[in-house]
Amino acid sequence: MELLKKTVLDLEDRRKDNSDKKELFAKDRHPKTANFYKDQWAFIHDTTVRENIAYQMQYLEFMINLYNDYQIYLTVESLLCKDIICTVGGIIEAVLFDLIQNAKEKAGLKLDRTDFTALLGLAYHEYKLIDEEMWHFCHELRKVRNFVHLKAADFREHQAYSAEETNDCLTKLEQFREHLA
């Protein structure tokens, strides 16, 4: 297996890293800026969490463009869909953590670092941040994220994840953002 080949042309400007390689997408297909996504997720209180969500949104956009612009091989297609689904789950988890932590702080309480399942319970039952449909969706999303542990999957990954399932996750992510914004 080949290793990654990183080229750095300018240590002062990391945007020029790998700029001597073939360009993958035309300029009009590059992901939106992190600032675009930071503005979309402006209701996130923790600046670092908001920035990390923006970077994950850029990554989602990159993966979507990759899928839409190139013929992706069967197994790689399924795993790309899995990566998109897992990224959506990570974003939702980060958002819920931020919103619940902020609400608890306002009430003079502390939120200990908690898992996705506990966050979903708090978000649905206590803080009403999500409805029952979203609560069920997120539980299924959490299960898919657990399949990052390959031993947990009892199926063949080359056919496990579909574009339709992935599109549903992307649609739900946008509905979730719009609901909270």
pLDDT digits (tens, 9 = 90+) for 107-157: 999 887 688 999 999 999 999 999 999 999 999 998 888 776 566 556 676
Between 145 and 178, residue with greater pLDDT: 178
How confident is residue 27, by pLDDT bands cut at 50, 70 and 90? confident
- pLDDT digit string, tens, across residues 67-115: 999 999 889 999 999 999 999 999 999 999 999 999 999 999 988 768 8
Distance CA 133, CA 145 (A): 18
Give the CA distances from residue 87 to residues 92, 93, 100, 127, 166, in Å, rounded to whole numbers and listed in that order: 9, 10, 20, 24, 11
Distance CA 20, CA 53 (A): 29
Residue 24 is predicted with a pLDDT of: 87
Residue 154 is predicted with a pLDDT of: 62
